[in-house]
Structure 1
């Protein structure tokens, strides 16, 4: 959330620079653009992780694949008007980036946090030592719950 808020502030700075509400300078343009892109792209893996946690029983590969397709389609729909229509000014691009970041912050705030994978990992309790063998050699003792059987290929 922190990274997305910083990216939102940087896109606000960029929008104000491009709309000339703030005195324009090339250095400010570079700094605001680089920081906005760095923070926004830095939170992408965290957002994928949150999506995977929200849809826990479904395998991660499927969820990440669907998420990648959705984000690619959103990017296409975002840039499609630029190739289809002629605009006098493109100031709406900067402001739409700001709005997209604000909407992302709102969605993260209202989405309930589920940690299904972590909760499942924490629910397994270690109580009894059970020796096991792997590739015909003795190894350390694996501690597992008494009802749980150790798989042969563990």
Structure 2
């Protein structure tokens, strides 16, 4: 029952965060990459908190600490989802948004399926999951930093000339 409430609070927080961060990106146009990097730093820290709490008690375990870390993780991770779709549309412009979002959805489903099938292997356990999620965030941060956000689509929507 506790896991259900953790998931509920994580998803509800993520839904509100996605609305807020989408609104924020609209107000701070041209700074989506910066917002995504900050959100993934928060996701990395909150996931590290969860991982270290579950891994031999490096951080003392408490229910309050678990709730706060999971809710923060949901806020940063789920709040970033619409921004990644928008950034993919910006990067792949003039390719239609439907193609870039389809590639994101397909790859997400594919890797999530593999991720969920691995625990079915006898004796694998589940602690590796938190470590692999933390590793994915740590790998994503440098990739986000080196990402070149060109915002050509945004400039076209705003009626500005395209420098390309």
With the shorter chain as reference, the TM-score category is 0.7 to 0.9
Does the aligned pair in 1 maintain the 2:119–2:125 contact within 8 Å?
A: no
Once residues 86 and 10 of structure 1 are traced to their aligned partners in structure 2, the CA distance between those partners, rounded to angstroms, is: 29
Cα distance change, pair 87–27 in 1 and its aligned pair in 2 (3 A):
farther
Larger radius of gyration: 1
Deviates more, 1:87-96 or 1:7-16: 87-96
- The structure, 1 or 2, with the larger RCO (C-alpha pairs under 8 Å, 6+ apart) is 2
Does the aligned pair in 1 maintain the 2:50–2:70 contact within 8 Å?
A: yes
Structure 1 residue ranges without an equivalent (≥5): 125-154
Segments ≥4 residues shifted beyond 4 Å: none
Deviation at 1:90, TM superposition (A): 2.2
Q: 2:142 aligns with which of 106, 109, 133?
A: 106
Deviation at 1:70, TM superposition (A): 0.8
Deviation at 1:88, TM superposition (A): 5.7
Structure 2 residue ranges without an equivalent (≥5): 1-36
Does the aligned pair in 1 maintain the 2:43–2:73 contact within 8 Å?
A: yes
TM-score, normalised with respect to structure 2: 0.70
Deviation at 1:119, TM superposition (A): 3.1
Of Structure 1 and Structure 2, the greater helix share is in: 2
> 1:132 aligns to what?
none
Once residues 18 and 89 of structure 1 are traced to their aligned partners in structure 2, the CA distance between those partners, rounded to angstroms, is: 13
Of Structure 1 and Structure 2, the greater strand share is in: 1
Q: What's the C-alpha RMSD, in Å, of the aligned pairs?
A: 1.5
> 1:76 aligns to what?
113
- 1:38-49 aligned within 5 A: 38-49=75-86
Once residues 22 and 89 of structure 1 are traced to their aligned partners in structure 2, the CA distance between those partners, rounded to angstroms, is: 21
> 1:5 aligns to what?
41
CA-to-partner distance for each residue in 1:7-48, whole Å, 9 max, x for gaps?
110000000000111111111111111110121000111111
Once residues 30 and 45 of structure 1 are traced to their aligned partners in structure 2, the CA distance between those partners, rounded to angstroms, is: 24
Q: 1:28 aligns with which of 54, 65, 86?
A: 65
> 1:143 aligns to what?
none
